Amino acid sequence: MTALLLSEKENFKFSEASEAATQFSKIFYERYDGRRQDLEKLYMLDATLIWNGNSVSGAANICKYLAELPPSGNTKVECIDCQPLPDDLTEGRTSMVVNVMGVIRYATRKPQSVPFTETFIMTTQSSNAGSIVWKIAKDCFRLIE
């Protein structure tokens, strides 16, 4: 069996994606648990969410949908995996797939703690200040029941 070694550039891409995914997950789930109105800033304007089979399009509509879900708290991320996407698949934009597994706690639901999986397709975008920020293009969430 022949092992394929990554180039220095590819190693950097994986490292950069891993760091961005970890930082992003922390911000996302803190907002999900306590400030859902601030989640809109993390989505691209034309983003799509599939939440337990329900599809929602547009950042504002996604935030409205998430705000109507039962309140949550203390979401625990147990595993994050990310893979940078090749530039030729994403029209030259730096993009990645982020897979998250964890446990979400709902105060008004039985059982209160439910395992979940969430997959994000994220891409970079220029901010109003001219810096590059990560935005969610696609989000697929599933409770594991």
Mean pLDDT, residues 65-93: 87
**Amino acid identity, position 3:** A
Residue 1 within a domain: no
- Judged by DSSP in three states, 122 sits in strand
Q: Which residue has the higher pLDDT, 18 or 97?
A: 97
4 located within any domain: no
In a domain, 62, yes or no: yes
> Which two tokens mark 124?
């970079």
pLDDT above 80 (res 11): no
Residue 92 lies in a domain: yes
Per-residue model confidence as pLDDT tens digits over 49-69? 999 999 999 999 999 999 999
pLDDT for res 58: 98
Question: Does residue 18 form part of some domain?
Answer: yes
Parent domain of 106: 9-143
Close Cβ partners of 144 (under 8 Å, ≥ 6 residues apart): 114, 115, 116, 117
2 pLDDT more than 60:
no
Q: Which of 10-14, 25-29, 33-37 has the lowest mean pLDDT?
A: 10-14
pLDDT of residue 3: 56
